[in-house]
Amino acid sequence: MAQIFTVHPDNPQPRLLKQAAQLLDNGGLLAVPTDSSYAAIAHLDDREAAEGLRRLRGLDDRHHLTLLCRDLTEIAHFAKVDNRQYRLLKAATPGPWTFILEATKEVPRRVSHPSRRTIGIRVPSHPVTLSLLEQLGAPLLSTTLIPPNETDALNDAEEIQRLLGNHLAGIVDSGACSRTPTTVIDLVDETPVIVRLGAGDPATLGLA
């Protein structure tokens, strides 16, 4: 079963996050709280990571995985961002948004969409997730933690342990978070397209 790390939601203990990060370094998958719902995460440079996340969710390789980044500077390293896109990203991050953008060469092909060469990108605002990203000093590959054949995201560590504990190396528990996933916006074309309506209100970005 997955190892559970109980951390403070606002001031997570660095010692415990370091232990959780070690599981990622060893090729494991973690469940972590975000500002939308729990997410499953893995190292971007782990060759088995994308397949492991897709297997956990029951997804095929056409489903966008998401890079959790620390800030806009890190986003620009992994996604091609023009001035129009940058203004929208700056207004929305950090927060419960996922943006689909064209991937740079820094993103392994096994991770990006197979035909469009795109990737999901987001900067979460949850203190625990941000602290873990700072601990690692690199973005993490992620997907919303929704069990196969289900529609609702998981938000409770005990429930995650019961349903998916055999498939995870660890669970970072800082208490329940929202069950609402991020709002997903495709920014590849000139006109932004709302792919999924979630926790982020598009009206706050001037989008219908």
pTM score over 0.85? yes
Give the torsion through C-alpha atoms of 147, 137, 14, 7, to 10 deg.
-20
User: What's the pLDDT tens digit per position in 130-175?
Assistant: 999 999 999 999 999 988 888 888 989 999 999 999 999 999 999 9
107 secondary structure, DSSP code: S
Q: From CA 130, how far away is CA 134, in angstroms rounded?
A: 6
User: What's the pLDDT tens digit per position in 15-67?
Assistant: 999 999 999 999 999 999 999 889 999 999 888 888 899 999 988 877 888 99
Long-range contacts of 185-189 (CB under 8 A, 24+ apart): 185/88, 185/97, 185/98, 185/99, 185/100, 186/99, 186/100, 186/118, 187/85, 187/88, 187/99, 187/100, 187/101, 188/100, 188/101, 188/102, 188/116, 188/118
